[in-house]
Amino acid sequence: MQLTIIGFGKMGEALARGMLHAELIAPGELVLADVAVERLGVVTQELDVRVTSDNALAVRDSDVVIFAVKPSLVAPVAREIAAALRPGAIILSIAAGITLRQLAMAFNRADLVLARAMPNTPCLVRAGAIGLSMAAGAGAEATQMVCRLLSAVGMVESVPEAQLDAVTGLSGSGPAYIAVLIEALADGGVLAGLSRHQAERLAAQTVLGTARLILETGQHPAQVKDAVASPGGTTIAGLAALEAGGLRHALIAAVHAAADRARELSGE
Ligand SMILES: NC(=O)c1ccc[n+]([C@@H]2O[C@H](COP(=O)([O-])OP(=O)(O)OC[C@H]3O[C@@H](n4cnc5c(N)ncnc54)[C@H](OP(=O)(O)O)[C@@H]3O)[C@@H](O)[C@H]2O)c1
């Protein structure tokens, strides 16, 4: 297989490193294309992959092309490479807000398999949450291939494209909400007498551990909560304070507001 990543920024690098680390591709199968040639030069020695600043050349023999450039560059780069793509090539865009319809218009070729994904920043540590939508007509083989590649940097959930804005509002923007949560928990720890450093570590590990507990045991979040809240104990006192502060409502409203904004920005 030949795979090209166009745009070797934060996400492009995370995807390249994740896929190589998971041995989903060999270095000889990967081409990286970016305008920042000097930066690519440093990376090519470390990763032993081919690099170029010529996007059309980069995709010529590729079975899969991942678009990891800024959203405003998707259409111009698509037009730049459209004629060079192999028939049946899979094009996966991770550009926020660029719809499958806009992608199809930019490529103007009916023989490509188009896909759109919404990753999040924990992909940088291979713990991402990724929403994936394949264009109508994409076969099972192409879908499986894209899921496999993305799984190198996180958990992949397939959703209809209409739900990608909801994915943006939840897991795309989610790292910001959780970072605020961790910061606030740490503040609470400091208020209760812990050092800032220890409070931050304990707060972050509590979020990580609770998430793993839910994902790995399949327990409902309410079960995890109830297991810690003994009658008349410390946790139920803390939970009562949380409810008084309206945390649940604030989080629901945050996801809803971000999903609405994603819908507005994509202009569809
Ligand atoms: N970061 C996130 O959390 C996140 C989450 C979800 C989705 N996304 C999406 O992922 C995409 C990439 O985001 P990012 O944060 O990785 O951006 P980034 O760090 O800015 O990476 C984009 C890279 O593309 C390069 N580039 C610019 N013009 C190019 C061209 N004509 N041909 C090839 N490469 C070109 C940029 O070089 P220069 O810097 O020199 O311009 C940069 O290295 C975006 O569309 C974004 O919406 C990102």
Whether 185 is covered by a domain: the verdict is: yes
pLDDT for residue 267 is more than 80: no
| 213 plus 189 within the same structural domain | yes
Within a domain: residue 166? no
Residue 32 lies in a domain: yes
- Are 149 and 179 part of one and the same domain? no
53 within 8 A of 77, measured Cβ to Cβ = no
Q: In this structure, are 179 and 114 located in the same domain?
A: no
Tell me the average pLDDT across 233-247: 98
For 242-260, how does the pLDDT look when each residue is reduced to its tens digit (9 = 90+)? 999 999 999 999 999 999 9
Least confidently predicted of 37-41, 109-113, 248-252, 259-263: 37-41
Q: Indicate if 211 and 188 belong to the same structural domain.
A: yes
What is the CA(94)–ligand 1 centre distance, in A?
Answer: 9
Q: What residue has token string 């991942």?
A: 66
Q: Which of 32, 69, 93 to mutate to test the pocket of ligand 1 (most atoms within 8 A of CB)?
A: 69
Backbone angles phi, psi at 246, to 5 degrees: 75, 30
Domain that holds residue 245: 172-266
The CATH number given to whatever domain includes residue 178 is: 1.10.3730.10
- Give the pLDDT band of residue 37 (cuts 50, 70, 90): confident
Asked, for residue 167, whether it belongs to a domain, the answer is: no
- Ligand 1 centre and the CA of 10: distance in Å? 7
Model confidence at 66: pLDDT above 90: yes
> In terms of domains, do 85 and 44 share one?
yes
Report the pocket of ligand 1 as residue ranges, CB < 6 Å: 6-12, 33-36, 55, 68-71, 73, 77, 94-96, 118-121, 172
Q: How far is CA 27 from the centre of its chain?
A: 22
Matching residue, tokens 């450039």: 69
Same domain, 200 and 68: no
Q: Please state, in angstroms and rounded to a whole number, the distance separating the CA atoms of residues 14 and 99.
A: 22
Domain containing residue 45: CATH number: 3.40.50.720
Q: Judge if 180 and 136 occupy the same domain.
A: no
For the chain, what is the domain count?
Answer: 2
Tell me: do 21 and 148 sit in the same domain. yes
The answer to whether residues 112 and 19 belong to one domain is yes
Q: How far is the C-alpha of 228 from the C-alpha of 234, rounded, in Å?
A: 9
The radius of gyration of the chain's CA atoms, rounded to the nearest angstrom, is: 21
Pairing of β 3-6 and β 64-67: parallel
Mean pLDDT for the chain? Answer: 95
Query: What's the gap in Å between 96 CA and the centre of ligand 1?
Result: 10
d(CA 93, CA 116): 5
Tell me: do 36 and 153 sit in the same domain: yes
DSSP string, 130-180: EEEEEPTT--HHHHHHHHHHHTTTEEEEE--GGGHHHHIIIIITHHHHHHH
Res. 116: pLDDT tops 80: yes
Same domain assignment for residues 127 and 50: yes
Q: Is there a single domain that holds both residue 257 and residue 148? A: no
Residue nearest to atom 46 of ligand 1 (CA): 95
Position 42 scores a pLDDT of 78
**What is the structure's pLDDT at 19?**
95
Q: What is the pLDDT of residues 124-178, one digit of tens each?
A: 999 999 999 999 999 999 999 999 999 999 999 999 999 999 999 999 999 999 9
